[in-house]
Structure 1
Amino acid sequence: MTGPAVLEDLLRTEAPYVLGALVRRFGRFEAAEDAVQEALLDASIQWARDGVPENPRSWLTRIGYRRMVDLLRSEQAAHRRELQVGIAEVTVPAGPAVATDDSLTVVLLCCHPALSRTGQVALTLRAVGGLTTAEIAHAYGVSETTMGTRISRAKQTLRKAGARFTPPAGSDLSERVGAVLDVLYLIFNEGYTATAGAELGRVDLAHESIRLTRMLAQAAPGEREVGGLLALMLLTEARRPARTTADLGLVPLAEQDRRRWDRTLVEEGLAVLDAVWDTSDPGPFRLQAAIAAVHAQAESAAATDWREILGLYLLLERTLPTAPVRLGRVVAAAHAFGPVVGLRLLDELDAEHGLAEDPLTAQRVLAVRAHLLDQRRDPSAAAQFRAAAELTANEAERDYLLRRAAQTRVIVDS
């Protein structure tokens, strides 16, 4: 018997290899992705019962080929004019699966210029990141049905555009880099703080996004923002050992034991950022990496230069005027000048930009407001903590917020 968490990690790791093999063989991404999903479903049932086979990738590839043939045969039955394609002659390859790592090629295919940015990101999160349609929908603040429709349309668009399973180069590669960076960052964020589940994060997703970003940096050495994203990931991932207690409870940044941070990742992240930093034109990922670097170089939370971080957020907001960035500026201002200033800025930005209405920041707005009110010993902080807890499906995050709400009530009552 294999534990569900171990099995889920294994299937997510193998999926891009199997998808790449099917797309390379058949040239039909939309059908191949469906076939892989069916193979993964078969494996999740059979392996949980009988154990993982000796060569799981070969097993998945073999089942994926069979499902692919079934799908194409069914398609031909509905379109008799295509019978000459000869699907019936397709044979399932024997022997071990090809060890080629097609992960980055799959990402680049999913980020085809014919797709909208939402389609690019959603399709890649599902095909390579291993996220379910429900998880992707949650990240975008839409229903699972809506996101399922978007993913289906994206796959159809790839087919109509005649997308080929070949690594893009030159200008074709450059015009896809922006979308790929967004995708990899979203996968990393899901790995660092999962949208749902009992654990705070999903290490496998974070590590996979870092691995893919390293590969992209090698494929596009002149793209400085790729290095910026890699530095950001490394500096952020370095904190993971200190983010949770022994019982997997959340430990906020200010309370983390920085001696537990992974210094190897910190040093590598700082070196990567230095190599790509350009003061004349810092891009959004390099600016976010610079913010992470300020945290990484501070010996303690109290020693953090929050005014420098605030200045970086102001620069970042000019190039990336999003709700999460604006909320980050609120947090920096509150640390630099006190909770009153932070609350005032939060009210101003919320009124102007609707931060509380944005699905990407609605929960965080409540949490930030709760923290700032708590610093002022305002009794309404408890209600804000509870409201924030209700909006998260991550159990570790919810437990932390409810614990803070309880602690606030104790302080007020005492």
Structure 2
Amino acid sequence: MNEVLLRSLTPSVLGILVRRGADFAAAEDAVQDALVEAVRVWPAGRPRDPKGWLVTVAWRKFLDATRADTARRRREGLIDEEPAPGPAPAVDDTLQLYFLCAHPSLTPSSAVALTLRAVGGLTTRQIAQAYLVPEATMAQGVPPTPLRQWGRISRAKRTVSGVRFDRPGDVATVLRVLYLVFNEGYSGDVDLAAEAIRLTRQLAAVIDHPEVAGLLALMLLHHARRAARTAPDGSLVPLAEQDRGRWDTEAIAEGVAILQAALARDRLGEFQAQAAIAALHADAPTAEETDWVQIVEWYDELARLTDNPVVRLNRAVAVGEADGPRAGLAALAALDDSLPRHTAVAAYLHERDGDLTTAARLYAEAAQKAPNLAERDHLTRQAARLNARGMRR
């Protein structure tokens, strides 16, 4: 079963059903039923028109559910005739679906969760990681199944039930969704980074806003380093140790140009500030030549804009590079030690300060809290490296 193909077709199939008159919640349920059917029957022979097959099956599932619903009479005008079979229209509804999921009646967190599920195809676990909350919080105590998620997501679907497809959503929420989708893809767990960049390019082409440009610049600058982020064996390569010759210089140049044009409009936002930090990293010929003082200044701007604890955690690292590890540890001490990666940052700063015993212990603790296997392996190797150095003394 080609999961990538199903993921890529889902937004278009969902959009077609909504345009035909299905409300969002019913359409999403019908599409999920069609995906289950595809998983069951496609291994025996994939249809020549996979998208058309999914549309046909999903529409029939929607009709079956609608006819059984108590509101059947109110919807009879939508279901008098089933559209004739044939090739599905080649229309990309993904961006429009993002805006529908960002409907103003939804809270930002619900809009993000719904979009990541319905359009991005992420699981409850992946969405919970993006939110930095436990999976049980996102699922609201209801056990998730592979293709259906509940809790916050199901409530959001009920909220947009019956909303017409042409209702606009909130641009800020759409940007947040695209950012989280990119980050999930960038982590390597689900490869959605390129799709997030494509959608952000579409958004930038139709919306003239410096934060849209800032997000596109940020994505390009981060994506430019992707090839250097892992070694041939799949292990993580920290930024300071990456082979900068493997960075995509064209993507960096494009990202910097987009960022400069956005900053010139003097309407600073969080994505522009993040992109500025990424640009300073990209501009440094070597790790030692990184302008950490400017990076700290940009983190100060970013903290002012967002008051995000993760921003302050990253700022502590930058302070440790600009002003020394003890200054970084002092900045870290003001933060909640339950923050994701707090222990890993503490380990790094203690190593920089020469306290290898404490650093090794903290690296081992951080490995136990790591959100993915690659990061856990990296932190475990760091602990082993320092322990080996201690034994040689």
TM > 0.5 fold call? yes
Instruction: Tell whether the 8 Å contact from 1:228 to 1:289 is kept in structure 2 after alignment.
Output: yes
The 5 A counterparts of 1:170-181 are 176-181=170-175
Instruction: Tell whether the 8 Å contact from 2:341 to 2:370 is kept in structure 1 after alignment.
Output: no
Q: What is the letter of the counterpart of residue 46 of structure 2?
A: V
Q: Which runs of 5+ in 2 are unaligned?
A: 141-148
Instruction: Identify the range of structure 1 (177-186 vs 375-384) with the bigger mean alpha-carbon deviation.
Output: 375-384
Q: TM-score, normalised by structure 2?
A: 0.92
Q: CA deviation at 1:86?
A: 5.8
Q: CA deviation at 1:51?
A: 4.7
1:170-202, Cα deviation, whole Å (9 max, x unpaired): xxx6xx111111110010111111xxxxxx443
Do residues 408 (structure 1) and 386 (structure 2) align? yes
Do residues 398 (structure 1) and 376 (structure 2) align? yes
Instruction: Tell whether the 8 Å contact from 2:252 to 2:282 is kept in structure 1 after alignment.
Output: yes
Query: Which residue does the alignment assign to 2:190?
Result: 202
CA distance in 2, matches of 1:281, 1:215: 21
Q: CA deviation at 1:279?
A: 7.2
Q: CA deviation at 1:393?
A: 3.8
1:182-224, Cα deviation, whole Å (9 max, x unpaired): 110010111111xxxxxx4433x10111111111111212x11
Do residues 99 (structure 1) and 77 (structure 2) align? no
The 5 A counterparts of 1:267-306 are 267-278=253-264, 280-306=266-292
Do residues 254 (structure 1) and 232 (structure 2) align? no
Instruction: Tell whether the 8 Å contact from 1:27 to 1:165 is kept in structure 2 after alignment.
Output: no
- Of 213, 236, 244, 2:200 maps to 213
1:84-127, Cα deviation, whole Å (9 max, x unpaired): 72676341531111111011100000001011111111111111
Query: Which residue does the alignment assign to 2:150?
Result: 148
Do residues 368 (structure 1) and 355 (structure 2) align? no
1:367-410, Cα deviation, whole Å (9 max, x unpaired): 11111122223312222222222223411111111111111111
1:138-161, Cα deviation, whole Å (9 max, x unpaired): 3331315317221111111112xx
1:311-363, Cα deviation, whole Å (9 max, x unpaired): 11011111111011101110110111221111111002x1xxx2x33xxxx23
- Of 95, 119, 125, 1:128 maps to 119
Q: Taking structure 1 as reference, are residues 87 and 182 closer, same or farther at Cα in structure 2, changes over 3 Å only? A: closer
Q: CA deviation at 1:411?
A: 1.2
Query: Which residue does the alignment assign to 1:42?
Result: 37
Q: Which runs of 5+ in 1 are unaligned?
A: 194-199
Query: Which residue does the alignment assign to 1:190?
Result: 184
CA distance in 2, matches of 1:110, 1:132: 16
CA distance in 2, matches of 1:84, 1:32: 14
Do residues 89 (structure 1) and 80 (structure 2) align? yes
- Secondary structure of 1:379's aligned partner: helix
Q: TM-score, normalised by structure 1?
A: 0.87
Query: Which residue does the alignment assign to 2:160?
Result: 158
- Secondary structure of 2:68's aligned partner: helix
- Of 319, 322, 327, 1:333 maps to 319
Q: Taking structure 1 as reference, are residues 283 and 73 closer, same or farther at Cα in structure 2, changes over 3 Å only? A: same
- Alignment length (residue pairs): 380
Q: Taking structure 1 as reference, are residues 345 and 45 closer, same or farther at Cα in structure 2, changes over 3 Å only? A: same
Q: What is the letter of the counterpart of residue 212 of structure 1?
A: L
- Runs of 4+ off more than 4 Å: none
Instruction: Tell whether the 8 Å contact from 1:105 to 1:167 is kept in structure 2 after alignment.
Output: no
Do residues 379 (structure 1) and 379 (structure 2) align? no
Instruction: Tell whether the 8 Å contact from 1:229 to 1:286 is kept in structure 2 after alignment.
Output: yes
Instruction: Tell whether the 8 Å contact from 2:367 to 2:379 is kept in structure 1 after alignment.
Output: yes
- Secondary structure of 2:233's aligned partner: coil
CA distance in 1, matches of 2:320, 2:19: 52
Instruction: Tell whether the 8 Å contact from 1:121 to 1:179 is kept in structure 2 after alignment.
Output: yes
Instruction: Tell whether the 8 Å contact from 1:109 to 1:165 is kept in structure 2 after alignment.
Output: yes
Q: Taking structure 1 as reference, are residues 248 and 46 closer, same or farther at Cα in structure 2, changes over 3 Å only? A: farther
1:220-242, Cα deviation, whole Å (9 max, x unpaired): 12x11000000000000000000
Identity %: 47
CA distance in 1, matches of 2:157, 2:380: 41
Instruction: Tell whether the 8 Å contact from 2:210 to 2:265 is kept in structure 1 after alignment.
Output: no
Instruction: Tell whether the 8 Å contact from 1:243 to 1:251 is kept in structure 2 after alignment.
Output: yes
Q: CA deviation at 1:135?
A: 1.9
- Of 104, 128, 140, 1:113 maps to 104
RMSD value, Cα: 1.9
Instruction: Identify the range of structure 1 (58-67 vs 292-301) with the bigger mean alpha-carbon deviation.
Output: 58-67
- Secondary structure of 1:380's aligned partner: helix
